[in-house]
Every structure is written in structure tokens, then in C-alpha cells.
């Protein structure tokens, strides 16, 4: 049997906890029942130790970030997800926007002299943003700045626009890839289990359709992320079911890069009556995801959502990625009551933030190639890198 640290041999550990620790130390996969046990009984320090063991085996002390900005075409949507401050139920408010093609392209051009490697395009679903629209947009961005990685849309939009265009998932994804789409962010996953999805996100693509579209994309060489919206009406078993489905698909395709747990925020939406979870529950959730998803390389804490302090703590609970500089270009979370109302961290701030927690800052591109290793290189001011 693999020798595990003395910490785990303490008398207070239940046999099941000890057994899970032994499996993790031996690099074995835990079962759904064991995952549930971790949610129900796993103490924070125990979970942190297991998750850190795995994160160090996979990524050492590295903490990844990138230089990105968000493009949010609209904050109104034909759907009515109960947790979302973009949904049609609150469409009548005065602060709605619907960007035109030119406005979107101008938003990208505004970064012409800045060293960013990725544009992350995500927002509401509207009929005018159809398949030809996105083909034209991606082609125009590609033509304007060929090196900018386009990470865009989710199966929620894909399902809607492919159905409208009467094309298969394969044909639709192939056309978008040809237009310039490089990868897919993790959104729209919410909770796959129909018991929950039908209450919180009734009309949009279901869990299986979300998984099928990612599978088709992976088979076309398009990498993607996966999220889980947690801490609302779901039970622990729904979270395990969600991660199990992701783990199975990852076994099949290997196309997922990062898992991103998204903490439910309750401001300005139809689920405002539900209290938000505690920070310790967020940290336990990061650790359990790191332990459960043994075939995912990375777990990301999305700092604009949970705030800088919790993000710092999350680095000791299995997280190795904190997303990017963001540059105050996202409104999804600030509208839902997130910690960071105007999220911006400059690159030097991100580097210092990571080093202060004892980790090694790595600027990556979207596909996790190293752009700069800041333990080895000094930071070079932005203007020297413009258009690099």
C-alpha cells in the first residue's frame, strides 16, 4: 500500500476518509459515493491537503493567468434563467445594451495597442446574433488581429443558432472554426441534472446537448472549458453527477482544459431570496473538484466572481489558475452582486498577488502555453510589449 503522510493516520480520521486519502496518494480515481462523502464529511484541512497534493503533482507551484478582455454583445436574452441578471424577465430595465457588428469590432480594435492574447466573447442570446452574424464577426476579428485567440460562445448560443440555421452541430462548429473560433469557454453548463436544470434554466439547451456540443467540438480539435454553477438549490449529489458527466466525456475526448466552479451570486435576479454560500464551502468545493476531476489539468478560480481574498485562499485548495487581467470588461457578475464591481488587475498586480501566496506566476496563452514565467523573467512594462 502507498505510504501516505502521518497526518492522515491520525485516529480521528474515519476509515472511509483514510481510504480516500490512500487512493488519492496512489493516483487512483475516487467513486461517486466517495465524492459525496467528501462533500458531506470532508474537513477543510483534509481536503486542502489532498487537493494540494494533486495540484502539485500536475502543476507544481505554478499559478496561471492570461491577459484577456471580455466582449459582451448584449445583456439581454431570450431565455429566462432564474439565476441570471441578463434574463428576459429583467429585460425592461433601462441599462440594457445590444451591440452592433461595428460596435463589437470597435471594442476589439480598442485593444490594438495593448498586449492581450485572448478575447472572451459571452453574453445573452438574441435572434439577430445568428450563425452568419458570428461567422462574419469572427472572420473580421481574425482578419484584423490574427494572433488574438477567439474564445467565444457556449452550447447555449450554439444550440440556438444551429437550430435556426438548420445545420448539425458538426457543420455549425466547423463553419465557426473556419471563421476563426479558436476555443470555447465553459459557460452554460450550470447544473446538468434535469431536477435542477428544469427549475433554474428551463428552456435553453439541456445537459446532454451541452455535453454533445463539447464532444463534437473536441473532435474537431476545438478545446474548451467547463463550469458548474453551485450553491443555490442543488444538492451535493447533483454536483457529483455534474462532475461525473464531465469526467466521462474527458475520458473520451481529452478536450477540456479547465474546470471552473462558479459560485451563485444572488443580486438582481429571480433567485435573490436564496442565500449565498460561505467562503469555507467555496474552498471545500474547489478542493473536491480538484480531487474528483482527476483527468482535468487545471481548476480555475474566477477572481472577479469570488474576490481577491477568497482567490488567494483557493490557491491552497487545489486551484492553479485565476483567469486574467479582465480589464473591467465583464458585467455578468458585478450585476449579480460579485465581490469585484470593477474587476481589473494589472499584470504586475497579478504577479505580486500570486507570489504573495508563495506560488510561481505563469502568464499563459489560452491553450496553456507559457508566455512568461515571472519567477525567471522580470516583468516588462506593457508599452514595450504593445503589438508583440
Q: Which of 35, 261 has the CB closer to ligand SF4?
A: 261
115 touches which of ligand SF4, ligand V47, none (CB within 5 to 8 A by kind)? none
As a whole number of Å, the CA-based R_g of the chain is: 21
Q: How far is the CB of 267 from ligand V47 (least distance, A)?
A: 7
- 180-219 binders of ligand SF4 (CB under 6 A): 201, 204
Query: CB under 8 Å to 300, separation ≥6 — which residues?
Result: 225, 258, 259, 260, 319, 320, 321, 322, 323
Work out the number of other CB atoms within 10 angstroms of the CB of residue 207.
20
The contact pattern for ligand SF4, residues 36-75, with x = CB under 6 A and - = no contact, is ----------------------------------------
- Distance (Å, whole) CA 328 – CA 331: 8
265 touches which of ligand V47, ligand SF4, none (CB within 5 to 8 A by kind)? ligand V47
- Distance (Å, whole) CA 148 – CA 16: 48
Which residues make up the interface to ligand V47 (CB under 6 A)?
83-84, 122, 185-188, 190, 225, 227, 229, 260, 262, 264-265, 269, 302, 323, 332, 336
Q: Report CA-CA distances (Å) from 211 to 13, 225, 237, 268.
A: 37, 11, 19, 29
- State the helix-helix crossing angle for 131-144 and 101-109, rounded to 10 degrees: 30
Q: How far is the CB of 231 from ligand SF4 (least distance, A)?
A: 16
366 touches which of ligand SF4, ligand V47, none (CB within 5 to 8 A by kind)? none
Q: Give the single-character DSSP code of 276.
A: P
| Angle at CA of residue 119, ends 97 and 350, nearest 5° | 110
- State the helix-helix crossing angle for 15-25 and 32-41, rounded to 10 degrees: 120
Q: How far is the CB of 33 from ligand V47 (least distance, A)?
A: 27
Q: How far is the CB of 81 from ligand V47 (least distance, A)?
A: 7
Q: How far is the CB of 12 from ligand SF4 (least distance, A)?
A: 42
Handedness of CA 326, 88, 337, 292 (dihedral sign): negative
Q: How far is the CB of 335 from ligand SF4 (least distance, A)?
A: 10
317 touches which of ligand V47, ligand SF4, none (CB within 5 to 8 A by kind)? none
The contact pattern for ligand SF4, residues 72-91, with x = CB under 6 A and - = no contact, is -----x-x-x--x-xx----
Q: How far is the CB of 387 from ligand SF4 (least distance, A)?
A: 33
Query: CB under 8 Å to 355, separation ≥6 — which residues?
Result: 361, 374
Residue 125 contacts ligand SF4 per CB under 6 A: yes
Q: For residue 297, with 0-12 CB atoms within 10 Å meaning exposed, 13-18 middle and 19 or more buried, which class applies?
A: middle
Q: How far is the CB of 4 from ligand V47 (least distance, A)?
A: 33
Q: Which of 271, 382 has the CB closer to ligand SF4?
A: 271
Q: How far is the CB of 231 from ligand V47 (least distance, A)?
A: 8
- Distance (Å, whole) CA 101 – CA 99: 7
- 137-166 binders of ligand SF4 (CB under 6 A): 156
Helix, strand, or coil (residue 133)? helix
Q: How many residues bind ligand SF4 (CB under 6 A)?
A: 11
240 touches which of ligand SF4, ligand V47, none (CB within 5 to 8 A by kind)? none
Taking the CA of residue 104 as centre, how many other CA atoms within 13 Å lie in the half-sphere pointing to its CB?
A: 25
359 touches which of ligand SF4, ligand V47, none (CB within 5 to 8 A by kind)? none
- Rule CB under 6 A: which residues touch ligand SF4? 77, 79, 81, 84, 86-87, 124-125, 156, 201, 204
Amino acid at each position: 500500500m502507498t505510504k501516505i503522510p502521518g497526518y492522515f493516520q491520525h485516529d480521528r480520521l474515519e476509515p472511509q476518509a483514510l481510504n480516500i486519502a490512500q487512493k488519492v496518494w496512489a493516483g487512483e480515481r475516487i467513486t461517486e459515493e466517495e465524492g459525496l462523502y467528501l462533500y458531506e464529511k470532508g474537513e477543510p484541512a483534509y481536503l486542502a491537503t489532498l487537493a494540494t497534493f494533486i495540484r502539485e503533482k500536475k502543476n507544481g507551484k505554478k499559478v496561471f493567468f492570461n491577459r484577456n478582455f471580455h466582449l459582451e454583445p448584449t445583456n439581454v436574452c431570450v431565455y429566462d434563467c432564474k439565476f441570471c441578471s441578463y434574463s428576459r424577465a429583467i429585460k425592461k430595465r433601462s441599462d440594457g445594451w445590444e451591440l452592433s457588428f461595428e460596435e463589437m469590432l470597435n471594442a476589439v480594435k480598442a485593444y490594438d495597442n495593448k498586449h492581450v492574447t485572448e478575447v472572451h466573447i459571452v453574453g445573452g442570446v438574441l435572434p439577430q446574433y445568428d450563425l452568419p452574424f458570428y461567422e462574419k464577426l469572427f472572420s473580421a476579428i481574425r482578419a484584423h488581429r490574427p494572433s488574438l485567440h477567439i474564445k467565444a460562445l457556449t452550447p447555449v448560443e450554439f444550440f440556438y443558432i444551429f437550430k435556426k440555421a438548420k445545420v448539425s452541430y458538426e457543420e455549425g462548429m466547423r463553419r465557426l472554426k473556419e471563421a476563426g473560433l479558436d476555443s470555447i469557454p465553459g459557460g452554460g453548463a450550470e447544473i446538468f441534472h434535469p431536477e435542477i436544470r428544469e427549475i433554474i434554466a428551463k428552456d435553453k439547451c439541456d445537459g446532454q446537448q451541452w455535453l454533445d456540443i463539447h464532444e463534437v467540438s473536441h473532435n474537431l480539435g476545438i478545446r474548451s472549458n467547463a463550469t458548474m454553477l453551485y450553491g443555490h438549490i442543488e444538492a451535493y449529489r447533483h454536483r457529483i453527477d455534474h462532475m461525473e458527466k464531465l469526467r466521462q466525456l474527458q475520458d473520451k475526448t481529452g478536450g477540456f482544459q479547465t474546470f471552473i466552479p462558479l459560485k451563485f451570486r444572488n443580486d438582481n435576479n429571480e433567485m435573490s431570496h436564496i442565500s449565498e454560500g460561505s467562503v469555507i464551502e467555496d474552498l471545500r468545493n474547489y478542493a473536491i473538484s480538484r480531487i474528483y476531476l482527476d483527468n482535468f489539468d487545471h481548476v480555475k478560480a474566477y477572481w472577479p466572481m469570488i474576490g481577491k481574498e477568497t482567490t488567494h485562499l483557493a490557491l491552497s485548495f487545489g486551484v492553479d489558475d485565476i483567469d486574467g487581467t479582465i480589464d473591467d470588461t465583464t458585467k455578468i457578475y458585478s450585476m449579480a452582486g460579485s465581490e469585484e464591481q470593477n474587476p481589473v488587475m494589472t499584470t504586475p498586480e497579478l504577479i505580486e498577488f500570486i507570489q504573495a501566496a508563495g506560488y510561481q506566476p505563469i502568464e499563459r496563452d489560452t491553450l496553456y502555453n507559457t508566455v512568461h514565467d515571472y519567477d525567471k523573467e522580470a516583468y516588462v512594462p506593457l508599452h514595450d510589449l504593445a503589438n508583440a
